[in-house]
C-alpha cells in the first residue's frame, strides 16, 4: 500500500516537471527539458583515462598469473609489451592516435616509485661489499659502451651521421636499464652477488648517462668541442653524482629526524617517507643532478632510523605501498612501450638497426670481460666465466633509453625518428630474446640460485662477532683496513647520529638486540596467527603432550562459568571497539604496547623453559609443578604451548586498556587460564 503511494507520487513529480517547463513556453529563452541524465565526459576525462589505464594494467597482471604455464616460460615484461602492442593496434584500428609514452610522465611519475622501492629495500651489506666492482661496471663500463658504440657507428656511417649524434646515440643506448633488469631478474632468483652486481650497475649508471646525454646534446647544439669542454664534462660528472647523493642524503636525514616525532600521529608516518623521497628526486632533477642517485641515497640513509622510529603497522604499510606502486608503474611502463611502438613515427633503416644491435652486444661483452679481468685482481671472491656471462647477458635496455631519445628535439637531430626506431628494436631484442632465454640459460649453466635466507640468530651473533674480531686483529696488526674504518663508522653512527635521529630509548639499542626483537616479534605473530583461528578448546587439546602427570584441578562448575562469562564479555567489548573505528580515534600505541608485553611474556616464558631445559635435570619433585609442561625439550612443542599461553593472554592484555576492569585483574585471569588448560588433560 505504501509502496503504491510512493510510486504514484514519483510519477506525479515526474509529470510535473515537463508540465512546469511547458508552462514556460512564453519564456523567450530556449526551452530545454530538465536533464535527468546527462553526459559530461570532459569533466572527468583525465582522471578517468588514467584510472582506466591503471585498471587495465592491474587486470593484465592478474590475468598472467592465472596462466601459470605461460608465466613460467615468458617473463612478464614481454607479455606486457605484447599487450601494449595489441592495445595500440586496437586504438589505431579505431581511428584514433595511440598515446605515446610522454617523457615527462615517465620521468616524474612512473620511474620514481620503482627506484624508491629498489633503494629502500636495497640489501646494503652485499652492496657495500661489492661497491668497487659495481662502480667500475657502472662508470667505466658505461663509458666504454658509449664510446665504443658511438665510434664504431661513426666509422660505419650507416646514414651519413656525424660524430656527435653517433656518440649521443651511443650514450642513450648503452645504459643498462633498472626497470628491465628488475623485471627479469626478479623472476629468475639468481644468487645475491650477481643480482646486486647487475642491479647496482643499472642504478648507478644513471649519473653517467645523465652527464653524457646532456654533454653531447650541448655539444651538438654548440657545434664544436674543445678540450676545456671535455674537462668540464668530467667535472660535471662528479658534480652530478655527488650532488645527487648529497641531496638524497639531506632529505634522508630530514625524513629520519621527522620520524622521531611521529609517535602521536602514526597514521601519516608512511606519507613522510614517500614525500621526502619524492622531493629528493624532484629537487635533484631541478638542478639536472642524478635523480635516481638522490632517491637511492635518500632511501638507504633514512631506512635504519625510520624503521627504528615507526610502528610496525607503518612499516608494513610502507612496504606494501612501495611494492604496489612499483608494480603498477612497471606494468604501465611496459604497456606504454608497446603502445608507443605502434604510435610513434618510424624510420626504419636496416643497416642502422642491425649495426646497433650487434654493436650493443659486442660492446657489452667486451666491456664486461675486460673490466672483470682487471677487477678480479682486487676481489676476494673472483668472478668466474659463468658470472661474467650472466652479467653481460643481463644488461637489458629499457624505457629510460626510449624516453631519453624521445626528449631529443627534432630540429637539432633530424634523425630522431631513426634513433627511436633503433632504440625500440634494441629494447625489444634485449627484453624478448635475452629476457626469455636467460632463465633456461641460468638453469643450463647451473648458476647458483638465491638461497632461502632463514632468520638465524646464531649467524647474526657470529657476523657481529666476526666484525669486532676482524677490527681487533687489524688493530693488532696496526693496519687501517676496511674493517677498521667500518668499525669507526659504526661507532660514530651509534654515538652521535642515532642519538639525534632515533627517538626514545631505541636510540641506545644495539643492532643485535633489534635483530633479536624483530625475530621474536615475527615468531610471536606467526604463532598467534596460527593459533588465533583455532577454537580455544581444540587449541589446548591439540597441544597435549603424551606423557603428562594426570593432575586434575578441581575447579567448580560455577567458577568455570564465571571465567567463561568474563572472557566472553571482554571479547564482545573488543568487537564493539573495533566497530567504531575512525582514523581520528586510532588507539595510540595499542598495538605497540601489546607487542611489547607479548615479547616480554615470551621472554619470560623462554626463561622458564631454558632454566629447566638446558641445565641438569631437576629432582623429580619439580616435575609436578607448572614446570611439567616446560620439560618437554622439544623446541617446536614448547613454542606451541607458549603460543597457546600467549593466545590466551591476548584477550587479557588488550583488556588492560579498557576503562572498566574485570573484577579480578589480568594476572588472575592468567592463572585461571593456566589452570583451565591443565584441567583439560
Partner 1 sequence: MGSFQSLPDDHQYRTLSQKTGFSLEQIAILHNRFKQLSQNEETLRRDDLKTIQDLESNPIRSQIIEAFFDRRNFQKDGVGSVEEIGFEEFLTVMSYFRAPAHHITEEQREEMRRAKLRFLFNMHDTDNDGTITLEEYRHVVEELLSRSGALGRETAKGIADAAMLEVASISVGPMAPDEFYEGITFEHFLKILKGIEIETTMHIHFLNMDTSVLCK
Using CB under 8 A as the criterion, which residues of the chain lie in contact with partner 1 when the complex forms?
A: 380-382, 451, 454, 456-459, 461-466, 468-484, 487, 491, 508-510, 512-513, 516, 519-520, 545, 547, 603, 606-607, 610, 613-617, 631-637
The least CB distance from residue 610 to partner 1, in Å, is 4
Q: Using the minimum distance from each CB to partner 1, give the nearer residue, 162 or 459.
A: 459
**Cα separation, 539 vs 640, whole angstroms:** 9
State the nearest-atom distance from the C-beta of 385 to partner 1, in Å: 14
CA atoms of 146 and 170, how far apart (whole Å): 5
Please list, in sequence order, all residues whose beta carbon lies within 8 angstroms of the beta carbon of residue 576, skipping any fewer than 6 positions away: none
Helices (H) and strands (E) in the chain, counts: 31, 0
Q: What is the largest CA-CA distance in the chain?
A: 109
Q: Closer to partner 1 by CB, 50 or 466: give it.
A: 466
We find the least distance from the C-beta atom of residue 374 to partner 1, in angstroms, to be 16
Please state the closest distance from residue 626 (CB atom) to partner 1, in A.
15
Please identify, using beta-carbon distances, which residue of 67 and 525 lies nearer to partner 1. 525
Give whichever of 23 and 458 is closer to partner 1, judged by the CB atom: 458
Closest C-alpha among 260, 485, 242, 274 to residue 493:
485
Give the residue with the Cβ less far from partner 1, 92 or 623: 623
**Nearer to partner 1 (CB atom), residue 206 or residue 639:** 639
Q: 406-437 burial, b for 16+ CB within 10 Å, e for fewer? A: bebeeeebebbbbbbbbbbbbbbbbbbebbee
Rounded least distance, CB 601 to partner 1, Å: 12
Specify the DSSP class assigned to residue 380. S
By C-beta, is 266 or 483 nearer to partner 1? 483
Quickly count: other Cβ atoms within 10 Å of residue 5's Cβ: 9
For residues 349 and 425, is the Cβ–Cβ distance under 8 A? Answer: no
Which residue, 463 or 493, is less far from partner 1 as judged by CB? 463
CA–CA separation, 236 and 218 (whole Å) = 13
The residue among 17 and 132 lying less far from partner 1, judged by its C-beta, is 132
From the CB of 307, what's the least distance to partner 1, in Å?
A: 18
Q: Is residue 355 within 8 Å of residue 158, measured between CB atoms? A: yes
Taking the complex as a whole, the smallest distance from the CB of residue 131 to partner 1 amounts, in Å, to: 15
The nearest distance, CB 546 to partner 1, in angstroms, is 9
Calpha distance 426→421 (Å, rounded)? 9
- In the complex, the smallest distance separating the C-beta of residue 308 from partner 1, rounded to whole angstroms, is 14
Could you give the CA distance from residue 110 to residue 120 in angstroms, rounded to a whole number? 17
Q: Give the whole-angstrom CA distance, residue 25 versus residue 35.
A: 17
Of residues 124 and 457, the one with the C-beta less far from partner 1: 457
Min dist. Cβ of residue 193 to partner 1 (A): 11
- If the CB atoms of residues 1 and 380 are measured against partner 1, the closer one turns out to be 380
Angle at 406 between CA 174 and CA 106, to 5 degrees: 90
Is residue 190 helix, strand or coil?
Answer: strand
Distance in Å, CB of 631 to partner 1, minimum? 6
**In the complex, what is the shortest distance from the CB of residue 244 to partner 1, in angstroms, rounded to a whole number?**
30
Which sign, positive or negative, has the C-alpha torsion 440, 446, 450, 455?
Answer: positive
**Rounded Cα gap, residues 97 and 89, in angstroms:** 10
Residues 427 and 432: their CA atoms lie apart, in Å, by 8
Cα–Cα distance for residue pair 412/366, rounded to 1 Å: 32
Return the number of other C-beta atoms located less than 10 Å from residue 269's C-beta: 21
Q: Grid coordinates standing for 254?
A: 630530514
Q: Which residues contact 447 (CB under 8 A, 6 or more apart)?
A: 190, 191, 194, 386, 387, 390
Of residues 131 and 230, the one with the C-beta less far from partner 1: 131
Q: 449: helix, coil or strand?
A: strand
Nearer to partner 1, 528 or 587 (CB): 528
How far is 287 from 239, CA to CA, in rounded Å? 10
**Nearest-approach distance from CB 45 to partner 1, in angstroms:** 56
| Alpha-carbon distances, residue 553 vs 461, 642, 668 (angstroms) | 44, 21, 16
Least spacing, CB of residue 118 vs partner 1, in Å: 25
**Burial, 83: exposed, middle or buried (Cβ in 10 Å; 0-12, 13-18, 19+)?**
buried
Q: How far is the CB of 383 from partner 1 (least distance, A)?
A: 13
Question: Which one, 346 or 494, has the nearer CB to partner 1?
Answer: 494
- Which set of grid coordinates corresponds to residue 562? 564465571
| CA–CA separation, 65 and 221 (whole Å) | 48
User: What is the C-alpha to C-alpha distance for residues 573 and 351, in angstroms, rounded to an integer?
Assistant: 76
Burial 147-162 (b: 16+ CB within 10 A, else e): bbbbbbbbeeebeebe
Of 218 and 520, which CB lies nearer to partner 1 in the complex structure?
A: 520
Amino acid at each position: 500500500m505504501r509502496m503504491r503511494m510512493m510510486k504514484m507520487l514519483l510519477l506525479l513529480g515526474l509529470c510535473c516537471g515537463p508540465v512546469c517547463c511547458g508552462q514556460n513556453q512564453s519564456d523567450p529563452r530556449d526551452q530545454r527539458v530538465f536533464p535527468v541524465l546527462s553526459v559530461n565526459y570532459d569533466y572527468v576525462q583525465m582522471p578517468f583515462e588514467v584510472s582506466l589505464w591503471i585498471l587495465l594494467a592491474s587486470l593484465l597482471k592478474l590475468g598472467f598469473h592465472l596462466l601459470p604455464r605461460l608465466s613460467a616460460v615468458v617473463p612478464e615484461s614481454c607479455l606486457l609489451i605484447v599487450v601494449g602492442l595489441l592495445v595500440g593496434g586496437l586504438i589505431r584500428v579505431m581511428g584514433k592516435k595511440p598515446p605515446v609514452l610522454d617523457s615527462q610522465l615517465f620521468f616524474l611519475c612512473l620511474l620514481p616509485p620503482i627506484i624508491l622501492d629498489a633503494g629502500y629495500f636495497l640489501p646494503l651489506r652485499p652492496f657495500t661489499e661489492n661497491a668497487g666492482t659495481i662502480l667500475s661496471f657502472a662508470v667505466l663500463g658505461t663509458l666504454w659502451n658509449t664510446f665504443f658504440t658511438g665510434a664504431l657507428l661513426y666509422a660505419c656511417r650507416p646514414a651519413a651521421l656525424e660524430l656527435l649524434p653517433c656518440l649521443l646515440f651511443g650514450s642513450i643506448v648503452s645504459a643498462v636499464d633498472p626497470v628491465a633488469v628488475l623485471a627479469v631478474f626478479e623472476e629468475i632468483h639468481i644468487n645475491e652477488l650477481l643480482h646486486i652486481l647487475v642491479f647496482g650497475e643499472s642504478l648507478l649508471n644513471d649519473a653517467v648517462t645523465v652527464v653524457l646525454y646532456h654533454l653531447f646534446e650541448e655539444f651538438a647544439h654548440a657545434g664544436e668541442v674543445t678540450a676545456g669542454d671535455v674537462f668540464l664534462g668530467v667535472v660535471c660528472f662528479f658534480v652530478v653524482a655527488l650532488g645527487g647523493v648529497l641531496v638524497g642524503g639531506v632529505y634522508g636525514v630530514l625524513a629520519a629526524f621527522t620520524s622521531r616525532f611521529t609517535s602521536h600521529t602514526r597514521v601519516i608516518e608512511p606519507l613522510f617517507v614517500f614525500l621526502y623521497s619524492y622531493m629528493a628526486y624532484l629537487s635533484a632533477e631541478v638542478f639536472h643532478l642524478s635523480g635516481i642517485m638522490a632517491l637511492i641515497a635518500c632511501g638507504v640513509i633514512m631506512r635504519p632510523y625510520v624503521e627504528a622510529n615507526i610502528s610496525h603497522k607503518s612499516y608494513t604499510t610502507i612496504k606494501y605501498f612501495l611494492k604496489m606502486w612499483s608494480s603498477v608503474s612497471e606494468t604501465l611502463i611496459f604497456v606504454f612501450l608497446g603502445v608507443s611502438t605502434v604510435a610513434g613515427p618510424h624510420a626504419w633503416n636496416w643497416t642502422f638497426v642491425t649495426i646497433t644491435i650487434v654493436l650493443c652486444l659486442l660492446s657489452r661483452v667486451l666491456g664486461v670481460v675486460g673490466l672483470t679481468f682487471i677487477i678480479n685482481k682486487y676481489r676476494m671472491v673472483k668472478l668466474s666465466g659463468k658470472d661474467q656471462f650472466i652479467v653481460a647477458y643481463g644488461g637489458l635496455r629499457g624505457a629510460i633509453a626510449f624516453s631519453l631519445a624521445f626528449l631529443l628535439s627534432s630540429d637539432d637531430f633530424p634523425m630522431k625518428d631513426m634513433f627511436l626506431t633503433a632504440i625500440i628494436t634494441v629494447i625489444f631484442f634485449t627484453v624478448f630474446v635475452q629476457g626469455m632465454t636467460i632463465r633456461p640459460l641460468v638453469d643450463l649453466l647451473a648458476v647458483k640460485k638465491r638461497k632461502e635466507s632463514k632468520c638465524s640468530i646464531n649467524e647474526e651473533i657470529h657476523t657481529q662477532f666476526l666484525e669486532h674480531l676482524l677490527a681487533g686483529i687489524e688493530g693488532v696488526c696496526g693496519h687501517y683496513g676496511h674493517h677498521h674504518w667500518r668499525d669507526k663508522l659504526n661507532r660514530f653512527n651509534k654515538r652521535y647520529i642515532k642519538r639525534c635521529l632515533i627517538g626514545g630509548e631505541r636510540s641506545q639499542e644495539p643492532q643485535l638486540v633489534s635483530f633479536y626483537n624483530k625475530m621474536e616479534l615475527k615468531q610471536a605473530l606467526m604463532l598467534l596467527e596460527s593459533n588465533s583461528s583455532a577454537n580455544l578448546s581444540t587449541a589446548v587439546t591439540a597441544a597435549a603432550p603424551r606423557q603428562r602427570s594426570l593432575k586434575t584441578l578441581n575447579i567448580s562448575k560455577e567458577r568455570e562459568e564465571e571465567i567463561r562469562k568474563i572472557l566472553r564479555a571482554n571479547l564482545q567489548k573488543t568487537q564493539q571497539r573495533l566497530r567504531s573505528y575512525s582514523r581520528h580515534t586510532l588507539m595510540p600505541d595499542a598495538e605497540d604496547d601489546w607487542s611489547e608485553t607479548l615479547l616480554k611474556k615470551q621472554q619470560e616464558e623462554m626463561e622458564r623453559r631454558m632454566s629447566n631445559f638446558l641445565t641438569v635435570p631437576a629432582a623429580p619433585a619439580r616435575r609436578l609443578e607448572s614446570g611439567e609442561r616446560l620439560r618437554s625439550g622439544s623446541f617446536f612443542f614448547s613454542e606451541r604451548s607458549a603460543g597457546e599461553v600467549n593466545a590466551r593472554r591476548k584477550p587479557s592484555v588488550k583488556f588492560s586498556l579498557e576503562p572498566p576492569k574485570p573484577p579480578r585483574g589480568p594476572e588472575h585471569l592468567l592463572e585461571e587460564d593456566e589452570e583451565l588448560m591443565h584441567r583439560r588433560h
